[in-house]
């Protein structure tokens, strides 16, 4: 019974020692075994590993490519133009021991890298004109920035995989001024287009009016010619008819005159009884006397 009392504590002690002695390194991590704060081993391969419990401890570092977003930085180009640059970087820890000794952890490393990247951006982009920064030559400038940052990051056991500019915008005040200038330019162009359009409209309208006048004049001319030809043909027909029977023609014309003068209307005529107008009514004077 007495031996049984000691077995359970011994088993618990062995289990505790085993628990605190074993650690697992994952595929995405690399580990540094420390003994009272001093690095003793670096483990890069994944698997189960052992350490001295209560004396040694393990620091895990990420082995993957990490992203870093730097805060926007104002850069003054060589032509004194201001630009707000928002960049990001991708890096990885290639020397865990140097990394741990120089910066200690990832949070401090990110802060140091952000400072280095922004400083390098100012030094490189500050020697270029604004037009260069917004053109295809920007790729070359990014390579210079990456090389410069890599030289500094190597001291921390870090390799810079890539540095890119996400955005490169003008400050708000400059953007508003450029927008107003562009707006003024567009308004000026719009006025020019409207003026040219109005001028073309006047030209087209005057040309159309001229063509209409010419067409109407030609039509009027042709109508007068046709009317004259019709009147001439009518007169010839009347002349032929009059030549065939002059008395009937005179009678017909007199009837037309009577119809227009005597039927309807309020017009009064004062004529002599022996007037030529009444010759087809016989001798009115003699009839009155009788």
Mean pLDDT of 275-290: 55
Q: For position 60, what pLDDT does the model report?
A: 92
Per-residue pLDDT at 105 exceeds 70: yes
Between these two residues, 34 and 181, which has the higher pLDDT value?
A: 34
* Per-residue pLDDT tens digits for 70-88: 888 888 777 777 778 888 8
Between these two residues, 133 and 108, which has the higher pLDDT value?
A: 108
Q: Is the pTM of this model over 0.75?
A: no
Q: For position 74, what pLDDT does the model report?
A: 80
Local confidence band at 112 (pLDDT 50, 70, 90 cut-offs): very high
Per-residue pLDDT at 175 exceeds 60: no
Between these two residues, 243 and 94, which has the higher pLDDT value?
A: 94
Q: For position 95, what pLDDT does the model report?
A: 93
- Report the mean per-residue pLDDT for the chain: 80
Among 111-125, 146-160, 173-187, where is mean pLDDT lowest? 173-187
Q: Sketch the domain layout of the chain as residue ranges.
A: 2-62, 66-170, 248-289
Mean pLDDT of 189-206: 88
- The fold adopted by the segment(s) 66-170 is Tetrahydropterin Synthase; Chain A (3.30.479)
Q: For position 178, what pLDDT does the model report?
A: 64
What does the alpha-carbon distance between residue 161 and residue 163 come to, in Å, rounded to a whole number? 7
| HEC per residue, the chain | CHHHHHHHHHHHHHHHHHHHHEEEECCCEEEEEEECCEEEEEECCCEEEECCCCCEEEEEEECCCEEEECCCEEEECCCCCEEEEEEEEEEEECCHHHHHHHCCCHHHHHHHHHHHHHHHHHHHHCCCCHHHHCCCCHHHHHHHHHHHHHHHHHHHCEEEEEEEEEEEECCHHHHHHHHHHHHHHHHHHHHHHHHHHHHHHHHHHHHHHHHHHHHHHHHHHHHHHHHHHHHHHHHHHHHHHHHHCHHHHHHHHHHHHHHHHHCCCCCCCCCCCCCHHHHHHCCHHHHHHC
């Amino acid at each position: 019974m007495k031996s049984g009392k000691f077995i359970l504590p011994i088993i618990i002690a062995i289990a505790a020692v085993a628990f605190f002695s074993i650690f697992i390194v994952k595929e995405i991590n690399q580990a540094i075994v420390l003994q009272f704060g001093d690095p003793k081993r670096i483990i890069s391969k994944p698997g189960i590993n052992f350490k001295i419990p209560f004396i040694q401890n393990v620091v895990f570092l990420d082995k993957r490519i990490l992203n870093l977003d730097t805060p926007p930085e104002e850069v003054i180009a060589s032509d004194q133009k201001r630009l707000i640059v928002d960049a990001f970087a991708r890096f990885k820890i290639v020397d865990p021991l140097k990394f741990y000794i120089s910066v200690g952890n990832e949070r401090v490393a990110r802060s140091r890298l952000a400072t280095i990247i922004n400083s390098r951006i100012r030094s490189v982009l500050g020697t270029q004109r604004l037009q260069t920064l917004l053109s295809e030559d920007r790729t070359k400038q990014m390579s210079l920035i990456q090389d410069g940052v890599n030289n500094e990051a190597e001291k921390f056991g870090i390799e810079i995989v890539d540095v890119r500019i996400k955005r490169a915008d003008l400050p708000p005040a400059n953007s508003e001024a450029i927008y107003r200038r562009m707006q003024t330019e567009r308004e000026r162009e719009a006025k020019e287009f409207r003026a040219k359009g109005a001028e073309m409209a006047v030209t087209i309208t005057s040309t159309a009016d001229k063509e209409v006048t010419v067409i109407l004049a030609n039509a009027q001319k042709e109508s007068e010619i046709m009317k004259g030809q019709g009147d001439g043909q009518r007169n010839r027909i009347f002349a032929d008819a009059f030549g065939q029977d002059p008395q009937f023609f005179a009678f017909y014309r007199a009837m037309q005159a009577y119809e227009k003068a005597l039927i309807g209307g309020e017009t009064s005529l004062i004529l002599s009884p022996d007037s030529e107008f009444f010759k087809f009514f016989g001798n009115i004077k003699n009839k009155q006397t009788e």
